């Protein structure tokens, strides 16, 4: 899933990608909800009060976000009231906590990620009298999602990352060549600091907390939304499953307890936030899930997108198999090269071009 929206009551734009596992439910929910939590976290106290008063009196609410959607984007209408009530509880608590200080973007991003993940967990524990919603909130909680979100406000770029999606800045050097600046760190077994963090949080489980490059031998990302199987106690998991709908009870995955499960939670949705002040040579930002980074080198990705956006395609010298090349053969090689160039820029956007 991916989302894009402009903050209407504060400055800046939000962009994000969300990679689901064990089903799409968690990625879908996070893609719909996270930006609202971020936008609310950034609001000044007087705006929060104004919104709450509007709800109490039944007046129209100030729009918080302007979404930039594709016509085929799906939003869950059935869950909208549930989502709104949880968001309202959050802004009411922010009103009560009034510190008089302006929340900075980094703090807002961290608080929003953690609060939404907490709400996903709480909604699943409480359940819902509506059978569809009751099953939905459980599906969301028992599946999982990574998230990589950028907040861009003028020259100020913040990237909040939870999991193994990635953000990459495309930089055009003075000679026209392209270079890549990584704007996030993967939270997986390739990140030694993440392994050390998990071992320090579970000191008596150093041999089992990460096995075969996976959390408890099962999960690739070391941070994620949802995935309550790696967060809840065994008793809570059993209690929720036993009281839940039959579809949940019949699901072998939800009933399965991870091995060596002694000191939960093993998983967190807390993001790592990186700040960068944009320069004139910073030309674009790529947000993508791990499937892209596993397939292509970051330098190649930036070069391909940069060439697409500028319309300038740097060709490699023609390699020939020997010295005896006829003029006809050379003409054939040049015609092939020209045909490749003409097809390079046929796509309507850079993402489609990169996939091709």
More confident residue, 248 or 91: 91
Measured at the alpha carbon of residue 302, what is the angle toward residues 73 and 112, in degrees to the nearest 5? Answer: 45
Separation CA 266–CA 269 (nearest Å): 11
Give a yes or no: residue 14 inside a domain: yes
**349 vs 52 pLDDT, higher one:** 52
Interval 163-189 mean pLDDT: 95
Domain identity same for 169 and 36: yes
Examine the pLDDT at 251 and tell me if it is beyond 90: no
Query: In this predicted structure, what is the pLDDT of residue 322?
Result: 59
Report angle CA 38, 131, 17 to the nearest 5 degrees.
30
Query: Is residue 313 domain-resident?
Result: no
Q: Strands 144-153, 178-182: parallel, antiparallel or unpaired by DSSP?
A: unpaired
Are residues 180 and 243 located together in one domain of the fold?
Answer: yes
Order of all β-strands in the sheet with 178-182: 178-182, 166-172, 282-288
Q: Quote the pLDDT of residue 253.
A: 74
Looking at 256-270, 277-291, 306-320, which range is the least confident one?
306-320
pLDDT of residue 59: 92
Domain assignment present for residue 311? The answer is no
The closest alpha carbon to 220, from 34, 68, 19, belongs to: 19
pTM of the model: 0.88
- In-domain check, residue 308: no
Kindly state the average pLDDT of the residues 328-343: 70
317 lies in some domain: no
The pLDDT confidence band at residue 281, using thresholds 50, 70 and 90, is: very high
Residues 111, 211, single domain; the answer is yes
Residues 347 and 240 reside in one and the same domain: no
- Domain match, 251 and 331 both: no
Q: Is 19 exposed, middle or buried (0-12, 13-18, 19+ CB in 10 A)?
A: buried
C-alpha distances out from residue 11 to 7, 37, 151, 226, 280, Å: 6, 15, 10, 29, 20
Output the average pLDDT for the chain: 90
Task: Assess whether 211 and 287 both reside in one domain.
Answer: yes
Residue 227, CA distances (Å) to 29, 163, 219, 292, 302 in order: 13, 12, 9, 23, 32
Mean pLDDT confidence for 59-87: 90
Mean pLDDT in residue range 120-131: 92
Residue 146 has pLDDT above 60, yes or no: yes
Instruction: Kindly list the distances between the CA atom of residue 101 and the CA atoms of 37, 98, 189, 273, in Å, as whole numbers in the listed order.
Output: 18, 8, 38, 20
- Measured at the CA of 32, the angle between CA 30 and CA 36, to 5 degrees, comes to 95
Say what the pLDDT of residue 121 is: 98
pLDDT confidence band for 99 (50 / 70 / 90)? confident
Does residue 46 sit in the same domain as residue 102?
yes
Assess whether 233 and 336 both reside in one domain.
Answer: no
Residue 309, domain member (yes or no): no
Query: Residue 71 — very low, low, confident or very high, per pLDDT cuts 50/70/90?
Result: confident
Cβ 182 vs Cβ 208: under 8 Å:
no
Q: Where are the alpha helices (DSSP H) in the chain?
A: 25-42, 45-57, 80-96, 105-126, 131-142, 192-201, 234-243, 246-249, 252-255, 290-295, 298-310, 327-344, 350-355
The residues, ordered by sequence, that sit 6+ positions from 219 with a Cβ below 8 Å of its Cβ are 21, 144, 227, 230, 267
Domain extent at residue 329: 322-355
Average pLDDT value for residue range 41-54: 95
Given a contact cutoff of 8 angstroms between Cβ atoms, the answer to whether 163 and 215 are in contact is no
Task: Tell me if 110 sits within 8 A of 159, measured CB to CB.
Answer: no
- For residue 67, is it within any domain? yes
**With 60 as the cut, is the pLDDT of residue 315 above it?**
no
Q: Could you tell me how many helices (H) and strands (E) the chain has, helices first?
A: 13, 12
pLDDT interval class at 335 (50, 70, 90): confident
Q: Same domain for 215 and 332?
A: no
What is the model's pLDDT at position 323? 60
Average pLDDT over residues 323-330: 74
Q: Which residue has the higher pLDDT, 202 or 244?
A: 202
In a domain, 312, yes or no: no
Same domain, 330 and 214: no
Residues 114 and 256 in one domain: yes
Give pLDDT tens digits for 257-276: 999 999 999 999 999 999 99
Residues 296 and 330 in one domain: no
What are the start-end ranges of the E strands in 134-175? 144-153, 156-162, 166-172
Domain count within the chain: 2
Region 22-47: mean pLDDT is 96
Q: In this structure, what CATH number is given to the domain that contains residue 64?
A: 3.60.40.10
For range 5-31, the mean pLDDT: 96
Alpha-carbon distance values, 188 to 68, 163, 212 (Å): 31, 7, 11
């Amino acid at each position: 899933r991916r989302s894009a929206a402009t903050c209407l009551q504060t400055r800046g734009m939000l962009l994000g990608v969300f990679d689901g596992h064990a089903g799409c439910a968690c990625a879908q929910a996070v893609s719909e909800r996270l930006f609202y939590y971020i936008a609310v976290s950034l609001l000044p106290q007087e705006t929060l009060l104004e919104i709450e008063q509007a709800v109490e009196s039944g007046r129209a609410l100030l729009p918080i976000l302007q979404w930039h959607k594709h016509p085929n984007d799906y939003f869950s209408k059935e869950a909208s009231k549930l989502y709104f009530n949880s968001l309202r509880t959050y802004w009411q608590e922010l009103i009560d906590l009034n510190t008089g200080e302006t929340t900075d973007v980094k703090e807002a991003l961290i608080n929003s990620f953690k609060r939404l993940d907490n709400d996903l967990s709480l909604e699943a524990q409480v359940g819902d009298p509506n059978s569809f919603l009751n099953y939905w909130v459980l599906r969301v909680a028992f599946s999982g999602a990574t998230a990589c979100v950028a907040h861009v406000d003028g020259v100020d770029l913040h990237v909040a990352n939870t999991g193994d999606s990635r953000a990459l800045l495309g930089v055009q050097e003075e000679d026209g060549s392209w270079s890549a600046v990584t704007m996030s760190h993967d939270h997986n077994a390739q990140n030694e600091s993440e392994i050390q963090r998990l071992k320090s949080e579970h000191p008596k489980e150093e041999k089992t907390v990460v096995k075969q490059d996976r959390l408890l031998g099962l999960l690739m990302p070391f941070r994620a939304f949802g995935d309550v199987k790696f967060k809840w106690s065994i008793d809570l998991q059993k209690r929720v499953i036993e009281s839940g709908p039959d579809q949940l009870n019949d699901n072998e995955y939800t009933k399965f307890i991870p091995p060596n499960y002694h000191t939960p939670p093993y998983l967190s949705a807390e993001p790592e936030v990186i700040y960068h002040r944009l320069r004139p040579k910073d030309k674009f930002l790529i947000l993508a899930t791990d499937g892209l980074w596993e397939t292509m080198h970051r330098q190649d990705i930036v070069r391909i997108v940069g060439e697409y956006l500028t319309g300038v395609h740097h060709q490699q010298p023609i390699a020939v198999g020997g010295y005896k090349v006829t003029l006809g053969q050379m003409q054939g090689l040049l015609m092939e090269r020209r045909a490749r160039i003409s097809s390079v820029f046929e796509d309507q956007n850079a993402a489609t071009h990169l996939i091709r």
